Structure 1
Amino acid sequence: MKVRKFITLVDDVYTEGGRPVASPVRVAVAAIVIENPWAGMGFVEDLTQGISSTASDAGKLLAATVTEALGRPVEAFGKAAIVGLNGEIEHGSALIHTLLFGNHFRHAVSGSTLLPAVEKRGSAGTVFDIPLKHINDVTIRSHHQSFEVRISDAPHPDEILLALAASSAGRPQQRLAPLSSEQ
């Protein structure tokens, strides 16, 4: 895995809707910008080699960094892959939609659900929203949220930006009734 850049973001919300939040909600994002393991190869039918050489190392590094940056128990999580313009969306999907990547985060936070994801192709500075859901129960509405990210100089055309996001709580000031109330 050839790393060009590593980014960590932390966002604390103290006020939402004009009212103080009972307990500040923190969202952390860890992102890594790597060389696309399939760059310059043309169409690659079998992506296994790039997955095995990259996904686990990236997932392990990002999981450790995002949980440390959050500094609190993780209640919601998500992931992202933004592929540079010379790559395919499938290249990003291949790296984040494997247990080699996601299990590092699930194990670190004792999560049991699949991580919600965004993947897209874009140029440097592409804005993307990482979806987040509760780590163990995707029906908990308060934790359905997203976090907007933009890395001004990534990804370059032959790079992939991989990211994990973690939240210490659901949306600040959430007031929706439980899903069970509508069933």
Structure 2
Amino acid sequence: MKYRKLVTIVEETTREGGRDVAPVARVAIVAAIIDNPWAGQGFVEDLNAGIDAVASDLGALLAPKVMEALGAPLEAYGKAAIVGLDGEIEHGSALIHTLKFGNHFRDAAQATTLLPAVEKRGPAGVHFDIPLKHFTDATIRSHHQSVEVSIADAPHPGEIIIALAAATGGRPQQRLAALSTEL
């Protein structure tokens, strides 16, 4: 599995709502820009060969890199597949919605919940939001958030951006009551 480019983004929020954030809210994103394994083939009925050739290696590449970039214990996570204009959204979905890909991140994070995801097709520089949820309990509201990403020169028409995102906590200054208070 080859990639054209690997991009790492780290955000630290130190103030929100006019108040200091303690501890600092940290989010890391690591994205690989790869050739679409189905590019130029027309409609491909069975995507399994491309999944087998790419998904696990991609998860093995990205999971440790996003954990290292976060540099602290993970509490929330998510994933993205952004397909260039010559591909299908299903191409991105095929790579990230398989245990061959996702289990690398779940194992690295010691997570038990499904990874929330975004998939879309777009031109180079497209903006996309990666949804994040708590890594062991998807009902924890404070960790329902998203992080916006854009990579100026990706994806090219025959490429796919595959990204993982990790956060050290929930939204800065979150104040919503627990879901259990409404049940």
Normalization by structure 2: what TM-score? 0.99
Q: Which residue pairs with 1:34 in the alignment?
A: 34
1:140-151 to 2 correspondences below 5 Å: 140-151=140-151
Post-superposition shift, 1:107? 0.3
How far does the alpha carbon of each residue in 1:34-89 deviate from its partner, in whole angstroms, 9 at most, with x for none? Answer: 00000000000000000000000111111010000000010000000000000000
The 3-state SS of whatever aligns with 1:125 is coil
Instruction: State, as a whole percentage, how many aligned pairs show the same letter.
Output: 69
Q: Does 1:61 align with 2:33?
A: no
1:93-172 to 2 correspondences below 5 Å: 93-172=93-172
How far does the alpha carbon of each residue in 1:105-146 deviate from its partner, in whole angstroms, 9 at most, with x for none? Answer: 000010001000000000000000000000010000000000
Letter in 2 for 1:130: I
Partners of 1:114 and 1:175 in 2: CA distance: 24
Normalization by structure 1: what TM-score? 0.99
Letter in 1 for 2:155: P
Letter in 2 for 1:76: A
Partners of 2:8 and 2:65 in 1: CA distance: 8
Partners of 1:72 and 1:30 in 2: CA distance: 15
1:67-86 to 2 correspondences below 5 Å: 67-86=67-86
* 5+ long unaligned stretches in structure 2: none
Partners of 1:152 and 1:181 in 2: CA distance: 43
Q: Which residue pairs with 1:14 in the alignment?
A: 14
* 5+ long unaligned stretches in structure 1: none
Post-superposition shift, 1:2? 2.7
Partners of 1:119 and 1:49 in 2: CA distance: 20
Aligned length: 183
After the TM superposition, which parts of structure 1 deviate over 3 Å for at least 4 consecutive aligned residues? none
RMSD: 0.4
Partners of 2:18 and 2:107 in 1: CA distance: 37
How far does the alpha carbon of each residue in 1:16-49 deviate from its partner, in whole angstroms, 9 at most, with x for none? Answer: 0110012101000000000000000000000000
The 3-state SS of whatever aligns with 2:50 is helix
Partners of 1:21 and 1:161 in 2: CA distance: 31
Partners of 2:144 and 2:111 in 1: CA distance: 15
Q: Which residue pairs with 1:4 in the alignment?
A: 4
